[in-house]
Structure 1
Amino acid sequence: MAGDIVAPPSRKADGAYFTPEAVAATLVAWAVRGREDRLLDPSCGDGIFVAAHARSVGVERDAASACLARERAPSGEIHVGDFFAWAERTAERFDCAAGNPPFIRYQRFAGETRARALRVCRELGADFSGLTSSWAPFLVATASLLRPGGRMAFVVPAEIGHAPYAVPFLEFALARFSTVHLVAIREKLFPGLSEDCWLLFADGFGGATDEIRLSAVDRFVPSRDPPDAFERVDVREWRTAWSRRLRPYLMPRAARHAYRQVADSDAARRLGEVAAVGIGYVTGANDFFHLRPSQAARLGIPATFLHPAVRNGRSLAGPVLTDADVARWRAADEPYLLLRLPRVGALPRSVAAYLDGEAGRLARTAYKCRVRSPWHVVPDVAVPDYLLSYMSGERPSLARNDARCVATNSVHCVRLRDPGARERLEAWGSPFIDLSCELQGHPLGGGMLKLEPREAAQVVLPAHGQVHDLDRAAVREGLSAMRAWRHRAG
């Protein structure tokens, strides 16, 4: 990110969204303590940060944006090129740094720049996985260019509160700054983006701290300093009780206490203890492998080779998936029939004709089809005990699979390890389990909650009667807070 709210398409692909002037002014005003301070912006965009302080250096890989930065900040020093290459070359050290680094997800944060960034960070003691977004390596490399006692103030994505790839940066910051203060802002800093943003204030480079200061505010208010009110997050608790996630600290202390009392008890179970949670099958060509009843009849595909399938979470309308649900799909002529073919043996002429037809010739060119043999056999098709929605609005849906459907990777397949756990799963949708889903999952744009298989496996299933009356109010308050932070009412 760096530069106007609505970015040109090429900059948007680079994670470039220019910063509101009031946000830039706030960050620079805190980072700079004196007129002679030297400030660094590692991704200066159009120069809104470097223009706020005369003795500034900006690095920008986009030449057009760098030209704008020079016009906006004639007293600044603007370098065009890859920041990580520049950071390795420069001998200069800075009193402070401020900016809004690009939020480039790992799929596009690739090539030589990514390799250099990960190597530089690894040498500095921050070992990122290949799934990291670009902003975290930017901040590690920037911190390494500070003088002892230096400060840095940056816009960061709210993912810093829950993403595993953010942990190496946070651990790096805790080991190298005497103060690490995050300001979580519920109202969007960038109204045109689905991405929520927080602010980072790190002070005293060369020191260390055993706490994270976390301020939770409804909206950004310009100021020369971060908020005076903050929660002191004990790093040991953050690492152990909350698996290095800061999102739980957005809810009231009473809610955290009530949740931990249940989650840490011997009576509670994690979903992953009583069931295996995994993704459904991947066809590689969904439209080809899923047929409507009318299409199957017209093609003459025998029922032996067709199996009812759940293609997305919208099909999970209630706590039980029944034959009546499948009958409704059939009556609506929905494409719910998976073409499930055997690996060996002769196929009926009608099936062979469909495979060799125009749609089949196109489907077999898809990557997943090309790399398997035979291409038309969809692997990993199984009938799970339950089906769990992958992305959801109010709450993830869990449906008992009485209809014995199979499912695509748009939903999760839950297979019981312990049949005695069914009673716990019947409580799905209770406020406590809803809160556990909020804490283990993570928010997406548009108020959606995403629950990866590894996150779903950590959802806490309390024993019957384990959540007491006094705790229920605290749990509901915590649930309301977590939903509000992902822009979901209720």
Structure 2
Amino acid sequence: MARLSQKHSGAYFTPDPVVSTLVRWAIHSPSDRMLDPSCGDGRFIAAHRNSVGIEQDAISAATAMARAPWALVHEGDFFTWATETSERFDCAAGNPPFIRYQTFKGAVRERALSLCRSLGVEFSGLASSWAPFLVATANLIQPGGRMAFVVPAEIGHAPYAAPLIEYLVAHFSRVHIVAVRAKLFPGLSEDCWLLYTEGRGGRTDTIRFTALETFAPGNATCPPKQGEEVSVSEWRSVWNRRLRPFVMAPDARSLYRAAAEHAGSLRFGDAASIGIGYVSGANDFFHLRPSLAEKLGIPSALLHPAVRNGRALPAHQLTKSTVQKWQADDDPVLLLCLPRTIMAKLPTAVRRYLDSDAGKEARKAYKCRVREPWFSVPDVQTPDYFLSYMSGISANLVRNAAGATCTNSVHGVRVRDGAAMKRVVESWTTAFAALSREIEGHPLGGGMLKLEPREATRILIPAEELLPQIDANIMSDAVTVMQRWRHYA
């Protein structure tokens, strides 16, 4: 039997203290029937004598059977089993597989999403596997039943997690999410939180939220009594279906909420459109050093200076002198920019370069193969500003005074409303704007903050009349808290 890789199975086995904590809460009586929809090596089902486990990996399933010989273990796809079974459970506990959408695909994915659609839950194409796992599991819980699961911290910010939370608040009388800053799995870059639900068949207008520095069996049972009730309507409207902001102090949230609800405030998207730069498909081929372009005789009219990496950008403004320095250093920053209509008028020097060994290799790249003609890089624009989309301390907003273009390693910003953009630029270096970037962006492994274009459009600029009320120290403290939670040192 061949074991599935961790990447494909999402199998990261849960520490015993976490297992015992979740199972102890989920089980009310020895007779309770408990389900683990992805039982792995059997740690959860071994903790309760009346358990059923499902496991797709044959070796893990065999280990689970040996560890919990009293349990019923089904080897196979959970979503197939969940669609066909008539059995219902008093509770469920486990650690559903965290398989990203790139790997969670094919027939298994379609079965999962089809089952969820039949239950009224529509997941986006970017949904990872754990969210459909929990919807399908919740459907198998008896009225009044409970669930206790380890979940990725993405439940606090990922758009695809919102349909899951909407389903849970509509089908359980209590939903409690426990955020844990210290890693539950020391060897895994992914942060994990805990999810408790009870009262299947009920509904709730609030989400109980608790933020803990560390997990310990003593402070994670019950689940923890400390925390606050988050209004579902506030979660939807003010926080854009995100729970991450609730790791901050209430005073910071109160100031941010006041700005978000004020008619005089604006979002970055009110001032400009924000999008990714071009995708060449073969960066090393399409970006030439000045010395190579001169040697080949490529006409300068077909070469466009390009920002290839956000780290190369200065703090506030990209000037022509900076681009000239890049070229003087012979950096590969000249994009070979060939319009689609140039086919019949290709200069001889360009044709020779396209037909070179490097050109023959470049045209094999996927992005080059699927476009016509292969050598015409699409979506080459000259934005008004550049925005770095991955950062440690803060994302830079840099005016494009050099007329450069950019790859998809940075975002291009095109101004729609000059007056509104002026407010964005003036506010960009304030603590409030830094906090907004933390709230509207999302954390990545290694402590980085990522801003997708849709997230960047939501960066909030407070109304001018609110500025005297905004305490910069409160904002700065909140930024520090958010950075600590994404493990930026």
User: Normalising TM by the smaller chain, what interval?
Assistant: over 0.9
Matches within 5 A, 1:86-105: 86-105=81-100
Specify the alignment match of 2:35 in structure 1: 40
Give the alignment partner of residue 247 of structure 2, picking from 238, 246, 250. 250
Identity %: 59
Matches within 5 A, 1:430-449: 430-449=430-449
**Residues 98-135 of structure 1: CA distance to partner in whole angstroms, max 9, x if unpaired?**
00000111111111111111111111121212221100
2:141 and 2:284 mapped to 1: Cα distance?
54
Specify the alignment match of 2:456 in structure 1: 456
The alpha carbon displacement at 1:469 in A equals 5.7
1:288 and 1:179 mapped to 2: Cα distance?
56
Give the alignment partner of residue 14 of structure 1, picking from 9, 18, 38. 9
Equivalent pair of 1:258/1:474 in contact (CA under 8 Å): no
2:264 and 2:394 mapped to 1: Cα distance?
24
The alpha carbon displacement at 1:298 in A equals 2.2
- Residue ranges of structure 2 left out of the alignment (5+ in a row): none
Specify the alignment match of 1:24 in structure 2: 19
Alignment: residue pair count:
482
1:469 and 1:264 mapped to 2: Cα distance?
15
Equivalent pair of 2:316/2:399 in contact (CA under 8 Å): yes
Structure 2 CA distance for partners of 1:349 and 1:106, relative to 1, 3 Å: same
Query: Which segment is superposed worse, 400-409 or 319-328?
Result: 319-328
Specify the alignment match of 2:334 in structure 1: 337
When normalised by structure 1's length, the TM-score is: 0.96
1:271 and 1:370 mapped to 2: Cα distance?
36
Specify the alignment match of 1:323 in structure 2: 320
Mapped pair 1:111 → 2:137: no
Equivalent pair of 2:271/2:421 in contact (CA under 8 Å): no
1:453 and 1:69 mapped to 2: Cα distance?
44
Matches within 5 A, 1:230-379: 230-345=227-342, 346-379=345-378
1:228 and 1:270 mapped to 2: Cα distance?
36
Matches within 5 A, 1:63-142: 63-142=58-137
1:274 and 1:450 mapped to 2: Cα distance?
20
SS of 1:467's equivalent in the other structure is: helix
Specify the alignment match of 2:55 in structure 1: 60
1:60 and 1:360 mapped to 2: Cα distance?
48
The alpha carbon displacement at 1:454 in A equals 0.6
The alpha carbon displacement at 1:328 in A equals 2.7
1:369 and 1:450 mapped to 2: Cα distance?
27
Specify the alignment match of 1:218 in structure 2: 213
Specify the alignment match of 1:143 in structure 2: 138
1:290 and 1:487 mapped to 2: Cα distance?
35
When normalised by structure 2's length, the TM-score is: 0.96
1:79 and 1:225 mapped to 2: Cα distance?
30
1:303 and 1:465 mapped to 2: Cα distance?
50
2:442 and 2:11 mapped to 1: Cα distance?
23
The alpha carbon displacement at 1:429 in A equals 2.1
1:161 and 1:350 mapped to 2: Cα distance?
54
The alpha carbon displacement at 1:422 in A equals 4.1
RMSD of aligned alpha carbons: 1.4
2:340 and 2:204 mapped to 1: Cα distance?
59
The alpha carbon displacement at 1:9 in A equals 7.1
1:203 and 1:130 mapped to 2: Cα distance?
29
SS of 2:467's equivalent in the other structure is: coil
The alpha carbon displacement at 1:478 in A equals 1.6
The alpha carbon displacement at 1:267 in A equals 2.3
Specify the alignment match of 1:3 in structure 2: none
Specify the alignment match of 1:5 in structure 2: none
SS of 1:19's equivalent in the other structure is: coil
The alpha carbon displacement at 1:470 in A equals 5.1
Q: Residue 304 of structure 1 aligns to which amino acid in structure 2?
A: A
- Residue ranges of structure 1 left out of the alignment (5+ in a row): 1-7
**Residues 228-259 of structure 1: CA distance to partner in whole angstroms, max 9, x if unpaired?**
10111011111111111111111111001111
SS of 2:104's equivalent in the other structure is: coil
1:356 and 1:259 mapped to 2: Cα distance?
57
1:15 and 1:216 mapped to 2: Cα distance?
25
2:120 and 2:397 mapped to 1: Cα distance?
42
Equivalent pair of 2:130/2:151 in contact (CA under 8 Å): yes
2:309 and 2:144 mapped to 1: Cα distance?
52
Equivalent pair of 1:309/1:406 in contact (CA under 8 Å): yes
Structure 2 CA distance for partners of 1:463 and 1:176, relative to 1, 3 Å: closer
1:368 and 1:198 mapped to 2: Cα distance?
38
Specify the alignment match of 1:4 in structure 2: none
Query: Which segment is superposed worse, 359-368 or 230-239?
Result: 359-368
1:459 and 1:323 mapped to 2: Cα distance?
29
Query: Which segment is superposed worse, 338-347 or 411-420?
Result: 338-347
2:295 and 2:215 mapped to 1: Cα distance?
60
Q: Residue 429 of structure 2 aligns to which amino acid in structure 1?
A: G
The alpha carbon displacement at 1:262 in A equals 2.1
Equivalent pair of 2:272/2:415 in contact (CA under 8 Å): yes
SS of 2:413's equivalent in the other structure is: strand
Equivalent pair of 1:384/1:406 in contact (CA under 8 Å): yes
SS of 2:376's equivalent in the other structure is: coil
Equivalent pair of 2:248/2:482 in contact (CA under 8 Å): yes
2:398 and 2:203 mapped to 1: Cα distance?
48
Specify the alignment match of 1:200 in structure 2: 195
Give the alignment partner of residue 226 of structure 2, picking from 224, 229, 249. 229
Structure 2 CA distance for partners of 1:147 and 1:465, relative to 1, 3 Å: closer
**Residues 424-474 of structure 1: CA distance to partner in whole angstroms, max 9, x if unpaired?**
213312111111111111000001011011110111123557422652222
The alpha carbon displacement at 1:178 in A equals 0.8
